[in-house]
Amino acid sequence: MIIANVLYKIKPGQRNAFLAACREIGLLENTHKEKGNIAYDHYLPVHDENAVFCAELWEDADAFTAHRSAPHVVKFQDVKKRYVADADLSVFEGARKE
């Protein structure tokens, strides 16, 4: 299993616009439909109105790699250019509990 966490630092005052743009391109909805996706969600830190935390779980590295070139993720690159000041990605390999 692949665990990916991203902390997006959003340009000041743009968090709602960022989330709206993500909805517009169907980022979460389409990612949930991808082969190998276990979970993909955005969380809003209450202590920082200019941050969005993304938690992802993937069955394996191949699924995670394929996700990165999916059409909705390619569109997401433009969303990031408009609204994201910085992003910190952490990727871990985990064992799935049986």
**What is the predicted pLDDT for the residue at 95?**
75
Q: How far apart are CA 95 and CA 74, in angstroms?
A: 29
Would 11 be classed as within a structural domain? yes
* Structural domain total, the chain: 1
Domain around 33: 2-93
Would 13 be classed as within a structural domain? yes
Residue 98 has pLDDT above 70, yes or no: no
The angle subtended at Cα 73 by Cα 69 and Cα 79, nearest 5°, is 140
Residue 8 has pLDDT above 90, yes or no: yes
Would 98 be classed as within a structural domain? no
Residue 53's DSSP bridge partners are 7, 43
Q: What is the pLDDT of residues 59-96, one digit of tens each?
A: 999 999 999 999 999 999 999 999 999 999 999 998 76
Please, what's the largest Cα pairwise distance for the chain? 43
**What is the predicted pLDDT for the residue at 97?**
67
Task: Give the number of other Cβ atoms within 10 Å of residue 40's Cβ.
Answer: 19
CATH code assigned at 83: 3.30.70.100
Mean pLDDT of the chain: 96
**What is the predicted pLDDT for the residue at 94?**
83
